[in-house]
A and B are shown apart, each in its own frame.
Chain A
Amino acid sequence: MGKTTGAIPCSEAVRQLWDYLDHAIAPEDQERVERHLSFCRRCCGELEFAKEIRGFLASGSSDEVPPQVKDRLERFVEEL
């Protein structure tokens, strides 16, 4: 017990939030962040916002190709 179950401050929880969402931290750190979130309302707000930013990034992943660029590139492939 002891070390792995120790509470972490907000700064530490916030620092690890994205890694927590990515499951990119050790299971014991994952658990510490989870425990912190279970009682810290402000960090829950940080977590929700981190999720929103990730959604915002993901939503911008495909733009329209300008018609003249599309024509040029498709013609390039046609002529290969």
Chain B
Amino acid sequence: MSRRAEMDQIATRDRTKEAYQELVHRELPGLYSLARRLEREGAEDLVQEALLQGYRAFGSLKQQAAGGRWLKTILVNVFRDELRKRGRHVEEVAVGDLEDFSLYRTLIDEDPLPYSDSLHTDFLGAFDREDLREVLLRMPEIYRAPLVLRYMDGFSTKEIARLLDAPFGTILARLHRGRNLFERTMWAYAEENKLITMGDDDG
């Protein structure tokens, strides 16, 4: 290789790296947040592995603007492979166990905020980001991951099925149960952590 060609190659590599660093700098908060919702421990390792794989495949990224989504896809792949390696099996929750719960109705029946004019909104307002994360992490990952990807990161059900390597119908069912489980877990968490005041004292 001529000296000129070698210099050109180095310059191209530097530009590529610079572009990748910019992308990482921009997308790190979203990436790290997603990792923290998928994993209780080891979010940083998950992101690091995704960044390494992303760098190796950076040449295949066609549009820089789609880089955030692209990196998240890589991160979910790493997460899925990790789960497989650990060989974790989580039992599906029987539909009948979940179907009868409605957080909306529970709030009306239990009336935990008797002086509130907007009970349901105030209930949600009692949860901060860490509470939300804790609620999600209490759910089995087969329900948590689709819920997070669909409603927090905006992936379509079809994309999630591809990412998690599961049939479309399975993801639909897990989303359905996951939503129900999420509401149930929110209620249990709020009670347990006294996020809400139960209206049982007559003062």
Contacts and interface: CB of A to CB of B under 8 A. Distances in A.
Report the contact-size class of chain B (Cβ under 8 Å from the partner): 35 or more
B162 interface: no
A19 B84 CA distance: 29
B179 interface: yes
Nearest to B36: A63
B124 interface: yes
B197 interface: no
Interface in B169-203: 172, 175-176, 179, 182-183
Contact of A49 (B44, B103, B127): B103
A41 B17 CA distance: 57
Interface string A50-66: 10111011101111110
A26 interface: no
Contacts of A73: 24, 28, 32, 44, 47-48, 51
Contact of B29 (A14, A24, A64): A64
Interface in B15-41: 17, 20-21, 24-25, 28-30, 32-33, 36
Nearest to B175: A18
A57 B44 contact: no
Interface in B74-106: 99, 102-105
Contacts of B51: 73, 76-77, 80
A8 to B, nearest CB: 15
A19 B21 contact: no
Contact of A58 (B17, B25, B129, B151): B151
A74 B28 contact: yes
A65 B152 contact: no
Contacts of A22: 157
Interface of A: 14-15, 18-19, 22, 24, 45-46, 48-50, 52-54, 56-58, 60-65, 69-70, 72-74, 76-78, 80
25 contacts: A18-B176, A22-B157, A46-B104, A52-B121, A53-B182, A56-B127, A57-B132, A57-B151, A57-B152, A58-B152, A60-B132, A61-B30, A63-B29, A63-B32, A63-B33, A65-B28, A65-B29, A70-B28, A73-B24, A73-B28, A73-B44, A74-B28, A76-B51, A77-B55, A80-B52
